[in-house]
Structure 1
Amino acid sequence: MGTSWSLQVVSPPAGASDGVQAAFDRVVAQMSQWEAESDLSRFNRAVPGAWYSVPGEFAHVVAAALEISSASGGAFDPCLGALTERWGFGSAGPIDRIPVDTTGGAIDRRIDFDAAGPRIRRSEGAALDLSGIAKGYGVDLAAEWLLAQGVRHFLLEVGGELRGEGIRPDGEPWWVDVEMPPSAPVAPYRLALHDLSVATSGNYRRGLARGGQHYSHSFDPKTGRPIVNGVSSVTVLHRSCMMADGWATALTVLGPQAGIARADEQQLAACVIAGDREYISRAWREMLD
């Protein structure tokens, strides 16, 4: 996944680290666009329109991605793999020049999902990219493995996505601080992760700078270009780290006002930082109270 992970656990069983790493390895083997032989990479090379059988974990993430895509009005789009590659955010690596014409929404980008298979197929213009949700799923998969081993109290973190279960040995919840963009005049929130996950999408960390201009790594599916809505950070709390991860991406694309409106509609606890302003959802505000 191109990042590090950490685990704080009360009474860890033998082989805890190996079990967690095995869960992450399974996600990479199935869903990485940087691994040429992953299920995702082989699917993207498959003939458009042909059904492709996928493992259960892969199918679970695709189903969640399509669910968030529908619920967000298309702001979360798992079919943007060709765009992310073209802009230098994929396996091909950085680019020297900014793409001139990405044709935006004119391309038919569609993934069809058959849960009974499970299997998926793609339209000619679609290439699957699960980087906006798969890392969160990796946290969930490893967390569920720990729970199945009888581990009840732990804090698991992968590249800034976290899931806390139970409590610390001192009886306190797992406290974590939300990192704010350097330019934001907003104090970091301290969150209690008691059977809860948190994911943050930050545009200030990853992007592309060319010709004195910064381009976000988050894309607007309607234009086919990096977003320009001023959002620098979105944090979402959810029981599922996968859903927190996917919705943080979707709200980033929607922008501050539309993002918070959608968060309220979906009853999501969300905080959006755009410029020097902070926008919070009703569910986030209720947690403050």
Structure 2
Amino acid sequence: MGTSWSARIVDAPPGCASTIDDVLSCVIAQMSNWEADSDISRFNALPTGTWTALPSDMMTVLKAGLTMAHLSGGAFDPAIGQMVERWGFGPSGLTGPEIVPAHPAPWTMVEIADQSARRLADVKLDFSGIAKGFAVDAVSEALRDLGARHFLVEIGGELRGDGLKPDGQPWWVDVEAPPGLTVPTLRIALCGLSVATSGDYVRFQTKGGTHLSHSIDPATGRPIANDVASVTVLHKSAMLADAWATAITILGHERGMALATRHDIAARLILRTDDGAKEYITPALASMLD
């Protein structure tokens, strides 16, 4: 997934490292657009209209992505692959207007039935806004199956903590502040809880002096330009925290935080303004901080 992982495990059972490697290798084999023979790459290459059975984990992520697309009005879109490619953030490295979306709402062009799925138009699945979170959940579940009860798992900045540290303290985590902005420190205790952050400073390009975020707005087919510096979401599921952070980022501070509030999501958004950073917090997060 182009990133690193780490795990802190109290009284780690034998085989933890190899188990984590196996879990991540499975996620990559199913969901990496950067692997030509992965399940997602093969699915994207099938003729439109062709039904194909998907591995259970990939189907779990696809169903979650389509649900998030519905909830967010398409702001989160698991079939945004062509738009990602258009702006040079995909595996081919191609950019240019010749790569255009085949449909204005790509997610509506993916159909599922039981354990099978098909594309109704020439759209491409891309799980970059949800797969890391799923991997955190999958690693955590595998560790619990081994008998681990106290651990902190991190993949590319997405984290989940279970149990307690040896000193009886929870897994305290300070959320990274966007570079160049002064914001209050958000310190959270991860105990059966996950946290995911989406930021415009993590993956970006600069073209002609313009900052291009890797977060693509499916409504415009272009990188977002809403001055959202970062969004942090707390959730029991790292997969859903990841997806919600992406959706809120794309919707912006007004629509995104309103949506998160309606769905009782614990979220913080940092907005870039002419006067510096402005912080927005949903009621669900505010109640956790009291």
TM (norm. structure 2) is: 0.95
CA deviation map 1:90-137 (0-9, x unaligned): 111264xx54884696476521111x2x01111223110001001110
Which residue number corresponds to residue 161 of structure 1? 158
**Distance in 1 separating the partners of 2:158 and 2:77:** 20
Which residue number corresponds to residue 193 of structure 2? 196
Q: CA 1:213/1:50 → structure 2, altered by over 3 Å: closer, same or farther?
A: same
CA deviation map 1:17-65 (0-9, x unaligned): 1101111110000000000000000000001111111010110000100
For 1:106-117, list aligned pairs within 5 A. 106=104, 110-114=109-113, 116=114
Q: CA 1:19/1:107 → structure 2, altered by over 3 Å: closer, same or farther?
A: closer
Q: 1:273 aligns with which of 270, 274, 290?
A: 270
Give the root-mean-square deviation of aligned CA atoms: 1.6
| 3-state SS of 1:162 partner | strand
For 1:76-91, list aligned pairs within 5 A. 76-91=76-91
Q: Does 1:186 align with 2:189?
A: no
Q: CA 1:243/1:99 → structure 2, altered by over 3 Å: closer, same or farther?
A: same
Q: Contact conserved, 2:105 with 2:219, CA < 8 A, in 1? A: no
Amino acid at match of 1:232: A
Which residue number corresponds to residue 230 of structure 1? 227
**Distance in 2 separating the partners of 1:251 and 1:113:** 25
Q: Contact conserved, 1:164 with 1:195, CA < 8 A, in 2? A: yes
Amino acid at match of 1:125: D
Which residue number corresponds to residue 44 of structure 1? 44
Which residue number corresponds to residue 70 of structure 2? 70
Q: Contact conserved, 2:102 with 2:122, CA < 8 A, in 1? A: no
Q: CA 1:48/1:105 → structure 2, altered by over 3 Å: closer, same or farther?
A: closer
Deviates most, 58-67 or 178-187: 178-187
Q: CA 1:45/1:211 → structure 2, altered by over 3 Å: closer, same or farther?
A: same
Q: Contact conserved, 1:102 with 1:225, CA < 8 A, in 2? A: no
Which residue number corresponds to residue 59 of structure 1? 59
Per-residue deviation, 1:182 = 1.5
**Distance in 2 separating the partners of 1:265 and 1:81:** 28
Which residue number corresponds to residue 214 of structure 1? 211
| 3-state SS of 1:255 partner | helix
**Distance in 2 separating the partners of 1:87 and 1:29:** 24
Q: CA 1:5/1:106 → structure 2, altered by over 3 Å: closer, same or farther?
A: closer
Q: CA 1:104/1:278 → structure 2, altered by over 3 Å: closer, same or farther?
A: farther
Q: 1:132 aligns with which of 108, 113, 129?
A: 129
Structure 1 segments, 4+ long, off by >6 Å, are none
Which residue number corresponds to residue 255 of structure 1? 252
**Distance in 1 separating the partners of 2:135 and 2:141:** 10
Which residue number corresponds to residue 285 of structure 1? 286
Deviates most, 180-189 or 27-36: 180-189
Q: Contact conserved, 1:103 with 1:223, CA < 8 A, in 2? A: no
Q: Contact conserved, 2:30 with 2:58, CA < 8 A, in 1? A: yes
Amino acid at match of 1:153: H
CA deviation map 1:169-221 (0-9, x unaligned): 10000001100111322122111000000000011221111111111111111
**Distance in 2 separating the partners of 1:213 and 1:81:** 22
**Distance in 2 separating the partners of 1:147 and 1:5:** 17
| 3-state SS of 2:129 partner | coil
CA deviation map 1:142-189 (0-9, x unaligned): 100111111110000001000000000100000011001113221221
Identity of aligned residues (%): 50
Q: Contact conserved, 1:104 with 1:221, CA < 8 A, in 2? A: no
Q: Does 1:31 align with 2:55?
A: no
| 3-state SS of 1:29 partner | helix
Amino acid at match of 2:211: H
Q: Contact conserved, 1:219 with 1:227, CA < 8 A, in 2? A: yes
